[in-house]
Amino acid sequence: MAFGPYLLLALMEGLVKAAVLALTAVGLSLVFGVMRVVNVAHGAFFMLGAVLAYTVAQYIPGPAALGWLAALVIAPMIVAAIAAAADTLVLKRLNYDPEATIVATIGLLYILEQAALSFFGPDARPVEAPFTLRLQLPWFGFSGYKLFVILAAIAILLAVWWFMTRTRAGLVMRATQVDRQTARAFGIDVDRVYAGVFALGAALAAIAAVLLVPISQSHYLMGGDPLLLSFIVVIIGGLGSLRGTVVAALIIGISDGVISMFYSPTLAKIIATAAVAMVLVFRPQGLFGARA
Amino acid sequence: MAAVILSATGISKSFGGLCAVDGVDFALEAGEIHALIGPNGAGKTTFVSLLSGRITPDRGQITLGGEEITRLPAHQRVREGIAYTFQITSIYPGLSVFDNVALAAQAHGAKDLHAAVQAALQRVNMADLAAQQAATLSYGHQRLLEVAMGLALKPRVLILDEPTQGLASGEIAGFVALVRSLVPETTVLLIEHNMDVVMDLAQRITVLNHGQVLARGTATEIRANRAVQAAYLGVEDAEG
Amino acid sequence: MKSVALHLGVLVLLVVAQFLLPSYHANNLSRILVLAVFAMGYNIAFGYSGLLSLGHALLFAAGMYGAGMLVHHAGTAALLALLIGTLAGGIMATLVGLLALRTAGVSFMIVTLMFAQVGFLTILYFNGVTGGDEGIALTAPERQFIGLDLTQDAPRFWVALVLFVIALAANLALVRSRFGRVMLAMRENEERSRMLGFNPYVVKLQILVISGLFSGAAGAAYALLFGYIGGSFASVQYSILPMLYVLLGGAATVLGPLLGAGLMFYLIDFASGLTSAYLMVVGAALVALVLFAPKGILGTIRERWLPWLP
């Protein structure tokens, strides 16, 4: 294949990665923005979404699309419920102390990974795509499902944006983000908002995972990469800024797709991780954030 | 006239368009007790933060004992002899009173730590509390501990930021006597709201208003100054 | 002097245990001692000084690879390799600290985590030299330590014990020194410390370097004593484990790291006998500790009964 089409393929693969990454990272960013919690278990929620998607799809008879659709609804709901419980039982009791919550979410990550291993086993399992449409371009064929993933991610991100800016629940969340004390004084049940935000953040990771599994398979250790990449995206986009997060997801996802097509993925990861650490050291407000 | 130990020439600092300190000239004479007063928001705390190096000025020059220290970071200014006690009590709550003062004494390079700590604690009448955890002290004692830490640094200039705030009236009398006993070995710059304390202690007074020097002089001169009465004392009287 | 007696007592107990315990447990004891040295290094940064790093695996790995690759590739004598490995931990801590200490709090945690991740991936990337994921097994001739054969249980224990004693003495001396007081001051109130004339950046860098020397020594000793270096020792898990030991045993206590390492080692050992789900134990222990006993075992004991405990 000539270089031009090859690059086009790399870009399209990168766009798929960026779409999944944007969803996952927006969940992480939301939790950090509103609650000031660095959720190390976010990757585990992603993994849980994938593993549950496989499990749900197994139990639903009939066409593959039905099983996948059921998974798209059920898996995020279960993950959200687990996240809400974790918030109420653990994080709330730590008063959201930043360092204690990181230690606790590391613990949560281990618990979830081990639970997935015990109930699900060590093997990677595929989930059948809801449809198998192939787009034939002049140089190569491209999976129609991958294109659908991109569109679905855009639709969900728009829905999140609409939810945060146009609904009462979103307004309450943003009010809590600005000032927790004042929000409480105005009669907002901050505990419930926090549980809701934590659940929503986890659900977004789970949705991203359900979108991804027909392409990539589910596995109990699959949460590591999304966690690291989401961190990178959230930091570069500016901690807590949703718009910056989406832009950064596009940049990171596409460049990750392109770089790993031409170079070793390990080298790509080394460079990306080191670069992001440097951003945190020298420009803690992120590349796009203006505030100090 | 005594030698100038700490001086500021035309220093300014703005925060996002708001000019908190605007071209202030200021000279502290060795061995005096100098009070800095002014209504809330006059820029007093910003001004002493500039002197102590917690923030750097946009313009102007600061000298200590004739040497320029404008760009010197805060911790080095402390080593050069400017000690600062915080407006909001800032001690090590988890450590003992002894350790709190010992940190100051060892920062100054005291050879005999025990003697240095005891000396500083005796000046504030807290020698018998050395073993107590700082967090368990009464508020008045925490303020005094803060001063003891400043003393253990053996500073040339001691900046006291609202030291009597929150003290009971009985405690204030003892505090006034303590500060008076510090000069002339140490020079004291006092930021204070309590006018009785200011008039009682200060040999000279500088009044700040809107980030600029409104007046300076002795207690009598300041009391007689019309501009000060209008901008400051009048307000204070109305409140009190 | 109560504390000197206590620490001597602990050492006597360790020596006696070596003679009484069956070989399996005596070997575990060696491993626990080395891990305890690692945890002591972590404790100096986190427990005493409040520097919560998530990247100490990098410092451990610097010591491990510094020593292991020297004996393996260059035929360096084991004692020299141990010393160089220790230094490697300190140097790595300097490099990380120079950059990471420009940040604080949560950013510091993430930056240290990322630097460690870079180190881990680098080890995997250069698998031709490092052995990558598979690692390198050190041969018997490479593990001769000033005439002691470290493939044998008894010499291995004595070397581990001597290393532990040196680390324990250094740790005690450090926390009783003037610098030890400054470490606590950094944790308690950094701004106050600055206004007493301490440069927080320099002080924290010094703390991190000391912590790195401990971690590097532990990593180097681990390579020589147990004859294996591998990428997994640079993974996130080896940043989490010392934190877990310290939290369990008691942050800012001298014996906490040993107690935590020992208890956690046997808890995992015991759990993996019952179930393969030992990570679950680690996870549950972390959550339970931050929820119910944030001061750890010795921290709680000190608070309630023994205020003199160092």
Partner-chain contact C109 A270, CB within 8 Å: no
Q: Does A58 touch chain C (CB under 8 A)?
A: no
Partner-chain contact C110 A106, CB within 8 Å: no
C192 vs B85: CA distance, rounded Å: 9
B99 contacts on C by Cβ (under 8 Å)? 181, 184
Average pLDDT of the segment spanning C22-28: 83
Q: Does B55 touch chain C (CB under 8 A)?
A: no
| Smallest CA–CA distance from C50 into chain A, residue | A99
Q: Does C189 touch chain B (CB under 8 A)?
A: yes
Residues 238-277 of C with CB under 8 A from B: none
B176 class by beta-carbon count within 10 Å (0-12 exposed, 13-18 middle, 19+ buried) = middle
- What residues have CB less than 8 Å from B162, skipping those under 6 apart? B87, B191, B192, B193
Domain membership of residue B215 as a residue range: 1-72+191-240
Chains B and A touch (3+ CB pairs under 8 A): no
pLDDT for A291 equals: 43
Q: Is residue B111 part of a domain?
A: no
Q: Is residue B172 part of a domain?
A: no
Per-chain mean pLDDT for chain A: 87
Whether residue B76 has pLDDT greater than 80: yes
Closest listed residue to residue A13, CA positions, set A210, A127, A145:
A145
ipTM for the whole complex: 0.88
Tokens of C47: 């427990």
C189 contacts on B by Cβ (under 8 Å)? 90-93
Q: Is residue B113 part of a domain?
A: no
Residue pair B91/B78 in contact by the 8 Å Cβ criterion: no
Predicted confidence (pLDDT) per residue in A73-86, tens digit: 999 999 999 999 99
Whether residue A292 has pLDDT greater than 60: no
B205 vs B217: CA distance, rounded Å: 5
Q: Is residue B176 part of a domain?
A: no
Residue A91 C-alpha, separation from nearest chain C C-alpha, in angstroms = 9
| Smallest CA–CA distance from A282 into chain C, residue | C102
β partners of residue C290: none
- What residues have CB less than 8 Å from B205, skipping those under 6 apart? B34, B35, B36, B37, B198, B216, B217, B218, B219, B222
Partner-chain contact B52 C195, CB within 8 Å: yes
β partners of residue A235: none
Nearest to C188 among B95, B107, B113 (CB): B95
- Tell me, what DSSP letter sits at residue C152? S
Average pLDDT of the segment spanning A210-214: 93
B111 class by beta-carbon count within 10 Å (0-12 exposed, 13-18 middle, 19+ buried) = exposed
Average pLDDT of the segment spanning C197-221: 97
Q: Is residue B35 part of a domain?
A: yes
Q: Which has the minimum average pLDDT: A36-40, A235-239, C189-193?
A: A235-239
C-interface mutation test, from A36, A82, A99, A103, most C Cβ less than 10 A away: A103
Residues 202-261 of C with CB under 8 A from A: 240, 243, 247
Element (H, E) at B61: strand B59-64
Count of structural domains within chain B = 1
pLDDT for B233 equals: 54
Per-chain mean pLDDT for chain B: 89
pLDDT for C45 equals: 97
Nearest to B102 among C181, C194, C199 (CB): C181
Partner-chain contact B104 C196, CB within 8 Å: yes
Q: Where are the domains of chain C?
A: 2-232
pLDDT for B1 equals: 52
Average pLDDT of the segment spanning C145-173: 93
pLDDT for B135 equals: 93
Tokens of A66: 């039905």
The gap between the terminal CA atoms of chain C, to the nearest Å, is: 11
Q: Is residue B39 part of a domain?
A: yes
- What residues have CB less than 8 Å from B50, skipping those under 6 apart? B8, B11, B13, B21, B56, B57, B62
Long-range pairs for B194-201: beta carbons < 8 A, 24 or more residues apart: B194/B164, B195/B37, B195/B233, B195/B236, B197/B164, B197/B172, B198/B35, B198/B37, B199/B223, B200/B176, B201/B33, B201/B35, B201/B176
Partner-chain contact A281 C103, CB within 8 Å: yes
- CA A175, A176, A177 angle in degrees (round to 5)? 90
A69 vs A63: CA distance, rounded Å: 10
Neighbours of B, requiring at least 3 CB pairs below 8 Å, are C
A106 contacts on C by Cβ (under 8 Å)? 240, 283, 286
Whether residue C142 has pLDDT greater than 50: yes
C122 contacts on A by Cβ (under 8 Å)? 270
Whether residue C121 has pLDDT greater than 90: yes
pLDDT for B237 equals: 46
C188 contacts on B by Cβ (under 8 Å)? 92-95
Tokens of A108: 């949560």
B182 vs B177: CA distance, rounded Å: 9
Residues 102-141 of A with CB under 8 A from C: 102-104, 106-115, 117-118
B159 vs B54: CA distance, rounded Å: 13
| Smallest CA–CA distance from C184 into chain B, residue | B95
Q: Is residue B126 part of a domain?
A: no
B91 contacts on C by Cβ (under 8 Å)? 189, 192
A119 class by beta-carbon count within 10 Å (0-12 exposed, 13-18 middle, 19+ buried) = exposed
Q: Is residue B180 part of a domain?
A: no
Whether residue A19 has pLDDT greater than 70: yes
